Amino acid sequence: MAAKRPAFTENFARNLDEIRDFLGTSGAGGFAQLRKRLFGDLVPTLSRFPQAGRSFLSHSVRSRAARTLVRRLRARLRAGDDLREMILEDYVALYLVRGDRVVFLSIKHHRQLSFDLGRFWREL
């Protein structure tokens, strides 16, 4: 089986910038290690073995809001698309297997919050 071509979204690049900012100057070595592991290990591995990650849509969904979001997400997927996630040390990468490509959609450090607490506190 031929390897799939890796592709990266603007969001993925933005996420890397956010991780660098999140880690700060004291985390520069950690960020360099992430880039090394990401482009030296994860991207080549998923290009050759795209099913190595876990199916993202296999998570159990319990809230009505989450079910609505999953329905919207499924509506955006094409026939044959496979949305998956892979853990790389302290990071979770979200990627899409589509045709002959592996499209890297997002990456987050496990400590990064996915919501804006500062904005919420200002609104209270």
| Domain covering 5-58+67-111, topology | YaeB-like fold (3.30.2310)
pLDDT at 124 over 60: no
pLDDT at 123 over 90: no
What is the per-residue pLDDT for 112? 83
At residue 40 the predicted structure's pLDDT band, cuts being 50, 70 and 90, is very high
Terminal CA-CA length for the chain = 55
Percentage with pLDDT > 90 across the chain: 80
> Length of the chain in residues, anyone?
124
What residues does each domain of the chain span? 5-58+67-111
The amino acid present at 39, given as its one-letter code, is F
Full-model pTM: 0.87
pLDDT tens, position by position, 72-97: 999 999 999 999 999 999 999 999 99
What is the per-residue pLDDT for 116? 54
Q: How many Å separate Cα 120 from the centre of its chain?
A: 24
